[in-house]
Structures are given as C-alpha cells and as structure tokens.
Amino acid sequence: MTLNATHDARLRSWVDAANLPGTDFPIQNLPHGVFRRAGSAEAFRGGVAIGDQILDMRQALAAEVFPAGLRAAAEAAAQPTLNALMALGPAAWSALRAGLSAVLREGAPEAGRLAGCLVPQAQAEHAVPAAIGDYTDFFTSRAHMLNMGRMFQPTQPALPQFSWLPIGYHGRSSSIEVSGAGLPRPWGQYRRPGQAEPVFAPTCKLDYELELGAYVGPGNERGQPVPLAEAESHLFGVCLLNDWSARDVQGWESLPLGPFLAKNFLTTVSPWIVTLEALAPFRCPLAREAGDPPGGPNLAEGGGASRSGLDLTLEVWLATAASQGQAFRISHSSSRHAHWGLAQMLAHHTENGCNLRPGDLLGTGTQSGPRQGEQGCLMELGHNGQRPVALGNGETRTTLEDGDTVILRAWGVREGFARIGFGDCRGTVLPARER
C-alpha cells in the first residue's frame, strides 16, 4: 500500500472540524461506516466520517458529485451494509478515496452541493457496517501469550506454535454489535475456587479484550489459497474490536476445543472502518525477537510481504457507575508489538483452501505490549486479581463491575503525516438478567 496524494498532510477540508489538530477524522482518513439519524426510522446507509460530520453517501450520489467512473464504488459505499464495496477490491477503494478526497478538499467546487449532505456525528447512530459471514479471532501478541501463560501454565508459558503461525479460532458472527451495545452480565457455568462441581450463575470475572479487527475484501474460492504477497489486496480496512470475555466460564469450558460461551455473548466493533490505504503511513515491521523462528514457510516477512505491522497507539478507558461520566485511562499500548500482521492472518487462514467472503471479520487478538500498563485486558493488567487496577477516583478493578463502561481508542501519528483516528468503541456492563 503506497503513499499518494490523499496522504498529503497539507490537505485541508471545507468541513472545518476536519482541520482541527486532535480530530480522528481529517481529510486524510475518510473511514467508511453505516448510519442513520439517531432514534429515527430512517434506513441505514453508508457514510464517510469527515471531522465531526458524516458525508451521507446516498445524498452525495443524488448530488451527482462523483464522476461516472466512481459511481459503482460510491453506490456500494452508500448501501446499508458495505459488503459490495468490500468485494470491489483495492483499485476501486483507492479510486473512491481519491474522489472523496477531491470533493471534500478546501476549495472543491462540489462543496456547495455537498454541504447539505452532511449529518453531524453527534446526531447519528450506527449499525455493524457489514453483514459478517464468519468472524475469526487470532492470537498475535507475544506479551498477551506470555502474560496469560505465566498465570495459567507457569512451567511453559510460551505456546510452541506461536512463532510459527498466527493461532486463530472461529468466533460468533451473530453477536457482533456496533459500539454502544449494552452488555447484560452473562450467566454461565463455571467452578468457584476450590470447588469441584460447577455452578450456573452470572459471571464473576467479566473482562474486555482490546483488539483491532479487519474486514475482508474480495475473498477467495474454496480450495484457492491467497498467497501472502496478495493478502493485502483482500483487506478492506481496520476497526476497533472488544472481545468481551467471561474468564470463569472460559477456564471451565475451553479445553480442548477453545473458548465458546465465554466469548460469544457479545463482540463490539467500532462504527468506522479505516481503510488500509489510510493507514499506509503507519506501517512497520512485525515485532521479532532474537531467536524467533522465521515463521511458517509461507508466512515469513519478506516472503511476499514486508512492513506487515501497524504502529497505532491503543488505549483503554474505563468509566464507572460512580465516576459520574469521567473515564480513566487504564491501559495504553501499540499494535506494533504484534508478532503477526493482518496479511499473515489472512494468508494463513486460506492456506488450507478455506474460503473467505467479503465482509468477513478477522480479529487480531488482545493487543498487549511487554510493559506494565500495556496489557490489553483486565485479567493481565491486574495479574489475575493479584494487583487491582487503580482508577483515578479511588476505585480499583480486578474484573468489570455492573455499570462500567469500557472505551477503546486507537490512532496513528507519524512526523509529516496527519493524525488518523478510529473513533470510540464502547460498551457498558448491565446487571445480569433475573432467571
């Protein structure tokens, strides 16, 4: 993914808020999402975030600002799900980005016609931006592996296959919802400490996991693997993803077939998908340590992909029922610590002939860094309850409590480039339902 004129840091938009220094959505970003006016019965449709506004793609089409060559992509970007846009592939995505950049630019002759096509983000509500056929979650952070391993398998905290392949497993697509979805504390079966028999009760160990997600583009036919060198052409863009987890349920149910009810009650994604092209300035080599094996023969960096990593700042904020709306930052890290990149995840996923479809979602797994404060879930951050996490108001946490709101944030900064942000991905824990 190469840099081009759309990445030029000097570009300014006629949407004033897009030019403010701290915005997540400058004209160099142009992420896609699906929205309608909050509380309305309007149909959801595609939109593009710009500053504090959303460009309504359906209205922009009606305003006839796009040249003929962009109409198919613009129409796909105006749909209530973005699967058709994802299916078009990188040339179409890139052309649409260039077109959006042109019409949203300061001085663009289209500004007059487009000014009426904006909806303030503060007045919008969102839907999951794709019909997600299959959702796969991976395990790409070495620190996450070691932190979890030291707690649960201290004699051998490292997984033997971790450096050879991006470990992955299938998640649940039906329960993926967009930022803001409430989470009634799930019930589940688990063992209380020291007891041999399980109970069925609301989870006592609710946790978040800080992840990035990637939406699949054109995809592949069954039996036709995507080589690593082509993998990025199948990656549309990136979102924030919270892989909520019930640790007590997970500990009881997961061996040998992996997490199931411990995670499938809800997965939250951010409304906006930042395209891989917008993230081009933040590419970096994958995290490697001396002595690391090269990775599987079809997965090694250099063997078709380079700078597969993403250097994005990641943060977790927590607001509580008692904090009166104030949120405290409890974790900050970077996705540059990942041992595997999105391209490796996608190539590995298809190496056996497994077919991916447009709109499929790939999660990176918890993005923990190696230092204290960089852990991407509360279980790691609080050392499995041994070291409660202090909030800024005297409260502490070892697991999530009812009324807690978890907010994930991410952005890229690099000298000479515009700051590119993701917006918030949030969710609030509600009391367990009565049975």
Determine which one of 144, 234, 337, 339 is catalytic.
144
Q: Is 171 in the site for a copy of itself (CB under 8 A)?
A: yes
Q: Is 407 in the site for a copy of itself (CB under 8 A)?
A: no
Q: Is 254 in the site for a copy of itself (CB under 8 A)?
A: yes
Q: Is 252 in the site for a copy of itself (CB under 8 A)?
A: yes
Q: For a copy of itself, which is the closer residue by CB, 55 or 246?
A: 246
Among 187, 370, 402, 413, binds a copy of itself (CB under 8 A): 187
- The b-or-e profile of 280-291 (16+ CB within 10 A means b, else e) is bbbbbebbeeee
Q: H or E segment at 200?
A: strand 199-202
Residue given tokens 């991916």 in the structure block: 356
Q: Is 84 in the site for a copy of itself (CB under 8 A)?
A: no
d(CA 220, CA 378): 37
Q: Is 170 in the site for a copy of itself (CB under 8 A)?
A: yes
Q: Closest Cα to residue 114, out of 18, 255, 222?
A: 18
Window of 44-52, 72-80, 170-178, 338-346 that interacts with a copy of itself by CB under 8 A? 170-178
Q: What is the DSSP letter of 16?
A: G
Q: Is 313 helix (H, G, I), strand (E, B) or coil?
A: strand
Q: What's the min distance (Å) between Cβ of 388 and a copy of itself?
A: 26
Q: What's the min distance (Å) between Cβ of 234 and a copy of itself?
A: 13
d(CA 117, CA 140): 40
Query: Total number of residues binding a copy of itself (CB under 8 A)?
Result: 60
Q: Is 357 in the site for a copy of itself (CB under 8 A)?
A: yes
Residue pair 148/395 in contact by the 8 Å Cβ criterion: no
Window of 46-54, 107-115, 132-140, 406-414 that interacts with a copy of itself by CB under 8 A? 132-140
Q: Is 205 in the site for a copy of itself (CB under 8 A)?
A: no
Q: Closest Cα to residue 285, out of 344, 236, 241?
A: 344
Beta bridge partners of 120: 53
Q: Is 360 in the site for a copy of itself (CB under 8 A)?
A: yes
Q: What's the min distance (Å) between Cβ of 219 and a copy of itself?
A: 8
> How many other CB atoms are there within 10 angstroms of residue 348's CB atom?
24
Q: H or E segment at 310?
A: strand 309-310
Beta bridge partners of 210: 242
Residues 134-153 as x/- pattern, contact with a copy of itself by CB under 8 A:
x-x--x--------------
Residue type, 256: P
Q: What's the min distance (Å) between Cβ of 246 and a copy of itself?
A: 7
Q: Can you read off the two tokens belonging to residue 341?
A: 């990149």
Residue type, 12: R
Q: For a copy of itself, which is the closer residue by CB, 58 or 339?
A: 339
d(CA 420, CA 324): 29
Q: Is 87 in the site for a copy of itself (CB under 8 A)?
A: no
Q: Is 356 in the site for a copy of itself (CB under 8 A)?
A: yes
Window of 88-96, 221-229, 309-317, 387-395 that interacts with a copy of itself by CB under 8 A? 221-229
- The b-or-e profile of 109-136 (16+ CB within 10 A means b, else e) is ebbebbeebbbebeebbbbbbbebbbbb
Q: Is 293 in the site for a copy of itself (CB under 8 A)?
A: yes
Among 37, 222, 371, 387, binds a copy of itself (CB under 8 A): 222
Residue 126: active-site member: no
The residue ranges that bind a copy of itself (CB under 8 A) are 133-134, 136, 139, 159, 161, 164-165, 167-175, 177, 184, 186-189, 197-200, 222-223, 225, 246, 249, 252-261, 264-266, 293, 296-298, 348-349, 351-357, 360, 433
* Catalytic (active-site) positions: 144
